[in-house]
Each structure stands twice: as structure tokens, then as C-alpha cells.
Structure 1
């Protein structure tokens, strides 16, 4: 009898602990923070020295593919002694811990949700610097992945209703209803959203399977295709006007030659794809901006699927606009 009572008591204690843990998980606060904003929890003296420099070298290096230099992330330094209450709820946190074995740990939903907390430890300052430098690409990848997921979550609150995308292209892509249809052809869609000082664009299209060959000239092929699309659909304000000499002006979007595009192979929707970033401009005009292009190999349907975002936003930062476009493109699901 005593054994039965003891077993029952132990079981109740275990279940109580599980209930408390479940309750703690359920009642995590919602995370907050601006897009591309990272809180760095580190002592002032470390932040002002070589450790801080190592952090900034990784997290504030220029974002590739923008007309002007903009850092990957905006950083806020927080001394450990004031890291409590609402300041722990930021969505992305880099936390440094001294006098511990060198390591890096990636944690989810520690103080709020959704949240990514990266803890870097070391016995010395050089240990911390080495861990950060060796894992810089992974740190950036984790934080950017969180920001893309957050932007997708925000846009999901008000989804578009353009069912013809799925009907004509056999795919779905998620973006907010604020984007308006600018042009639609049989296998081509162009959507546009007005922003503070300009406009943001997304285009979705299909290419024949033989339109691109995977070889050393793939990036050149992709640039030629996007330039041909630009010439066909994205005309400048001076297009078809007549200049002072009586000549008809031709103005359309092309890839800027002076800026070498970034190009690499990647995976989108579990399919091989090419990522291309660069600068666009209008011929015979002064408009331009950044673009990001993903060309996806759809082997099942024997075709290529193209998704591109580009922005015109003079005199303002473009980093967050481009992250939104990347988030839209990476939401694609191909049937």
C-alpha cells in the first residue's frame, strides 16, 4: 500500500512539473523589434574594443546588391546588467558570455517567441573573437532566416487573392494584398506596391526548359533574359517621347553594366535555383535601384520558374524593402 501511494505521489509530481513547463511555454511573450535589428548583450568595455569590432565586422558589413552601402543589421548594444524585462523580448539576440569554454549555441524562443538567441562563450576576449569570426556566415544566416520568416508571418495577415497565379503557373507565392496587379500575360505576372518615396515590384514568370543552359555562362543568360523582360514590360517615363533632335526615345529597364551582379546556386522549394542580385537602371533616364532574381529549375514540369523583386526608392534605405521581396520569393511553392 505504501509503495502504491509513493508511486502515485511521484507520478503527480512529474505531471505537475510537466504542466508547469507546458504553461511556461504557452505563456512566452510575443517577440518584438524592427526588421533587421539585432540586440547585442555585451559589457561596455568589450563592445568598445576588439570584441565589438569583431561583432560589427560580421553583422554590419555592407548588404550586397544595393546602390549605397547599408549594413546587414542595425545593432543595439545592451550591458548584461540591464538585460531584463522588455529588452529580452527582441526577436534576434547575440549574447556574449566570458570565462566559459569557447562555444557557440543557437537557441529558439528563450525569452519570447518567435526568437533566435545566439550565445557566444569564451575564456578570453580572443576566444570570443575567434568564435565569432569562424561562425560569422552561420550567425548571419540564422538571423536573416529569422527576419525573412518574420516578414512572411507579417504579410500572411493580409494575403492577396490572385488565384490566377496558381491557375496559370501552377504555383503559389505569398505576398500582402497591398500589392496591386500591374500587368498580366499568359505566363507572366507583375505586381507593384507604392512605398514612401517610390515603389516596390515583384514579377513571376515561366521560361521554357531550354531557355537556360547550366554552364559557365548561366549568369549571362539570366541577365539577358531579365533585360529582355525589362525591354518588353518595364518602360521608362520618357519612352516613346521625342528628344530635342526629333528622335524617338527608347527607355526601359536593364541590368547596370558597371555593377557586377552577385550570382550563386541555391535551393528554393527543395529545387535547384540560381540567385542573382544587382542594380537595374532605365536606358536614357536616371532611374534605377536594386533587384533580386531567383531562377528555379522545375524538372518535373520541364521548365524554369523566374521570380524577381526590384525597388525604386531614391534617397531612402532599401535594405528592408529588399528583404521583403526576398521573403516573398522564398515563399513560393511549385506544384
Structure 2
């Protein structure tokens, strides 16, 4: 009897917990924003400096300095109030135990709350140092997902391009064709005082050599594409990779395929236009090709972090479908 009563109570508690989770409110707030819950005294000292140095560090690959995340600081007493619906929350406290805890969907969903507590400032600083990389990675991933959720509501009709590239991409309907060739597409979205763009094209596997020449090959290819298809106000102009700033190269995986991620700045030769780009050269061995998907923007009077972040989120929706032919390597030589 006691055993049966225990299971009944456990089941009711379980149902109550599930019901509570299902009724959680939706999170709100701007993309790439963190709410830091910390008392003013700690915020104005070394701990606040450490948080700003790590989470508001300059974004790589942008022509002007912009922070990785926007940070809003609030006293600890506000945690129980209206701040609970933020998507990304970091709670910093001085407590008897040194610990770092991650809780998902605690007050709203989707949400991640990072609790950092320590006996003193040195302990807290040590925990921030050890866990900052993980926090940044998780927040970037969740913000990409949030951006993709927003994108998913009204989409560009990509079905006509599937047979050209044998991929699917979720692209906002605001994008329009700027140029369309057999194995090259340029999509553009007009914004206030500028535009954002997506390029999609494919090449033979052999055009990108192995280390240490990868970055040189990627720059050579994108400059060749600029010479062929991306021009300014006159035909004498062409898009090139800006030589004054070395691009940043890293490695990632997109839909189970290895990819080179390159971030840098572009300029229009013999013209005044310039801006940032993010280039993914995807090693698509099943289809014996390099598939390149690149985003870039021209927005001289606007901050560019979130514009580029949206392009990154779009590119990361990529799904491969089946075999595709490649373009001739000769076509892309300078």
C-alpha cells in the first residue's frame, strides 16, 4: 500500500512539473543580447571588467569594432522580476560554494541561465575564465537557432534552385535574384542605406588544396568570382578581398560535411564600396565538389554584426540532397 501511494505521489509531482514546464512563457529580446545579473559593486570591479572583456570583445571580420554581445546589467534582486523572460542570462553571486551551473528553460523558453558563484572575487574570476568559451559557444548556438526560427516564418522559394545545387536553404522572402547563371546564384536583400547578399556556387574538389595553402586558394577563388560576376557602378569595378586585413580562417561542419569558414572584408576595386563577408567552402565529397555559400553586406551607415549574423544563420540551415555536377575549374582562373 505504501509503495502504491509513493508511486501515485511521484506521478502527480511529475505531472505537475511537466505542466509547469509546458506553461513557461516565451523568451523575448534582441538577438545577441545577454542579461548579466550581478550586484553593482561586483560589476564595477574586476569581475565586471572580466565579463566585458570576454562577452563584449570585438567581433572578428568586421570593418568597425562591434561587441560580440550586447550586455545589459541588472542587480541580483531583479532576477525574480521582469528579467526572467530573457533568452541568455548570466547570474554572478558571492556565495559559500564555488560552482558553475547551467539551467535550461528555468523561467521561460528557449532560455539558458548560467549561474556563477564563488566565495570571493578570485574564485568567481577563475570560474568565468574557465567557462567563458563554453558560455559563448552555447549562446551563439542558441542565437543562431533563434535567428533561424525568425527566418522560418516567411521564406524565399528555393525550390527552383534545388536542382542547380542539390541543397536546400531557408532564406527570407525579402531576398531577390541579382544574378543567376547555370551554377552560380547571387541573391540580394535591400535594407535601409544598403543591402545584404548571398552567393552560391560550386567547384571541383581539386580547386582547394590541403594545408597550408587553403586560405590563399579561398581568396583566389572568391576574387575570381568577384571579377566574373560582382561589379559596382561600372564594369571596370570588381569585388576583391581587401588586402589590408588578413581574413580569419576556421573549420566547422555543415550538415555532416567539413567546411572552411573564412571571415574578412571585401572592397570594390576602382570604387568606394566595401564591407564584411563570411564564406563557407564546403567539402562535399559525396558529390565530388566544393560548394561555396557566402554572405556579405554593404551598409556604410549601419552596424553590421547582426546583418552578418543573419547571413550566417541562413547559411547554417543548409541541407544536402543528392548528386550534382560541377563547374569547370578553368572558368574560375584569373
TM-score by length of 1: 0.93
CA contact (8 A) 2:158 2:170 kept: no
For residues 198 and 185 of structure 2, what CA distance do their matches in structure 1 show?
A: 8
**Within-5 A mapping of 1:242-281:** 250-281=236-267
Stretch moving more, 69-78 or 175-184:
175-184
**Which residue number in structure 1 is paired with residue 318 of structure 2?**
332
**Within-5 A mapping of 1:64-79:** 64-79=60-75
**Which residue number in structure 2 is paired with residue 243 of structure 1?**
none
The partner residue of 1:52 within 39, 48, 52 is 48
Q: Does 1:192 align with 2:223?
A: no
The partner residue of 2:296 within 289, 310, 326 is 310
**Which residue number in structure 1 is paired with residue 207 of structure 2?**
211
- The Cα shift of 1:106 comes to 2.4
1:8-62 residue CA offsets vs partner (Å, 9 max, x unmatched): 4333322211111110110010001101110000011000000000000100110
The partner residue of 1:111 within 107, 110, 117 is 107
CA contact (8 A) 2:175 2:187 kept: yes
The partner residue of 1:86 within 82, 85, 103 is 82
Q: Does 1:32 align with 2:14?
A: no
For residues 283 and 122 of structure 1, what CA distance do their matches in structure 2 show?
A: 54
**Structure 1 residue runs of 4+, over 4 Å off?**
none
For residues 10 and 104 of structure 1, what CA distance do their matches in structure 2 show?
A: 33
For residues 61 and 206 of structure 2, what CA distance do their matches in structure 1 show?
A: 28
Partner secondary structure for residue 65 of structure 2: coil
**Which residue number in structure 2 is paired with residue 287 of structure 1?**
273
For residues 304 and 268 of structure 1, what CA distance do their matches in structure 2 show?
A: 13
- The Cα shift of 1:108 comes to 1.3
Partner secondary structure for residue 159 of structure 1: coil
Runs of 5+ consecutive residues of structure 2 not aligned to the other structure: 322-334
Partner secondary structure for residue 287 of structure 2: coil
**Which residue number in structure 2 is paired with residue 244 of structure 1?**
none
For residues 49 and 306 of structure 2, what CA distance do their matches in structure 1 show?
A: 24
**Which residue number in structure 1 is paired with residue 225 of structure 2?**
229
> How has the CA–CA distance of structure 1 residues 100 and 179 changed in structure 2, closer, same or farther, with 3 Å as cutoff?
farther
CA RMSD after TM alignment: 1.2
Runs of 5+ consecutive residues of structure 1 not aligned to the other structure: 241-249
TM-score by length of 2: 0.93
Partner secondary structure for residue 190 of structure 2: strand
1:149-184 residue CA offsets vs partner (Å, 9 max, x unmatched): 100000001122121222111111112111112221
